[in-house]
Amino acid sequence: MAFDGAPPAIWTTKPEEVDFPALLEMIVAALNASKRRCWILVDRLDAAFIDNPPLERKALRCLLIAYKDFMGHKPLRLKLFFRTDLYDTVVHDQGFRELTHVADRASPPIIWEPDKLLQMIMQRFAVNDPVCERYGFDRATIDDPDVRQAAFFSVFPGQIDVGQKKGDSWTWICNRIRDGNGVRTPRDLHGLVSKAAQKEREQLVLGNGNDAPELISAGAVKAGLSDLSGDKINTSLVAENPSLGPSIKFFTKQKAEQNSHTLEKLLGKDWANIVDQCVRIGFLEKLSDSWKVPMLYRDGLDIVQGAAFQKAKALDDE
């Protein structure tokens, strides 16, 4: 059941308080009598309390406490979909009694390793019969690790940035869809590939066909990343964290790596708090004594590779 903007009026206008424990017992009794079971799924918790971290922590903590109350009722089960960083913040920052009861019921976090992502994206290509016919794979064989890897390097070039010390195209893509928390999502990979394919189509329409054997060129992949980066800045980071929007925009045309001194000049006296929030949402990655904007977000803000401060010893940025 979804509530559009507000809970039912009976929850807020009824003069006496609702006895929720008694109500829960009544619901369980009704389900037992009808020999039915009910699952309540709660998702998108990261968007429930946008731009109010203290309220978010308090509300999600209460939700986990309520979750424990459902554990003893087999006919009525509550399933929560928690983002890993949110869950860690709620249960570890202030401690959480009887956490083991919650942890015992929790499934392992979903981690999208590069091979899982590769399988996901190549399965999308495998539903396109002309592509399968041209490059020699199909839906029946794409689940084989060797087949999907070979298929990927047929559809894409071997390298995006060509050079002896440069990685292959898959490594390039994986590095650039990674946020500051080390998270790579299927949505971002799919977005990058879709935008790259669109860029390739646009070139074909203009008569600038790709003469190479691969389906999507290196130039199209780079252009797709640039579009994805802009979308991530505007539709994810700024839209979901409006209070951080001005601070994020301050990084426009800045160097990718910043230290405490450069960040204070850039963000002001409250820089440490802002940086902590930026790290939490994956816009910044904490290094030993500095912070770096992940490559996923650089094109969207015209951020330049390199450090904004003098390093004691020259180090490669990537």
Are the C-beta atoms of 60 and 90 separated by less than 8 Å? yes
Q: How far apart are CA 156 and CA 167, in angstroms?
A: 14
Question: Residue 262 has what pLDDT?
Answer: 97
Tokens of 158: 């071997």
> Minimal CA–CA distance to 135: which of 149, 120, 114?
149
Question: Residue 3 has what pLDDT?
Answer: 53
Quickly list H helices, 206-302: 218-231, 238-240, 245-249, 260-267, 271-280, 295-298
Question: Residue 134 has what pLDDT?
Answer: 94
CATH 1.10.10 residue spans of the chain: 242-307
- What's the CA angle centered on 292, arms 81 and 227, to 5 degrees? 70
Are the C-beta atoms of 228 and 192 separated by less than 8 Å? yes
Positive or negative, the Cα torsion across 279, 284, 288, 290? negative
Residue 293: count of CB within 10 angstroms of its CB: 23
- Enter the DSSP assignment of 163: S
Question: Residue 176 has what pLDDT?
Answer: 97
Question: Residue 143 has what pLDDT?
Answer: 92
* Tens digit of pLDDT at every position of the chain (318 positions): 455 666 677 667 767 777 888 888 999 999 999 999 999 998 888 777 766 778 888 888 888 888 887 888 889 988 888 877 777 777 766 667 767 777 777 777 778 899 999 999 999 999 999 999 999 999 999 999 999 999 999 999 999 999 988 999 999 999 999 999 999 999 999 999 999 999 999 988 888 766 778 999 999 999 999 999 999 999 989 988 888 999 999 999 999 999 999 999 999 999 999 999 899 889 999 999 999 999 999 999 999 999 999 987 655 544
Question: Residue 114 has what pLDDT?
Answer: 95
H or E element that contains 76: strand 76-80
Q: How far apart are CA 188 and CA 271, in angstroms?
A: 28
Identify residue 51 by its one-letter amino acid code: D
Residue 263: count of CB within 10 angstroms of its CB: 24
What would the CATH number be for the domain defined by 242-307?
1.10.10
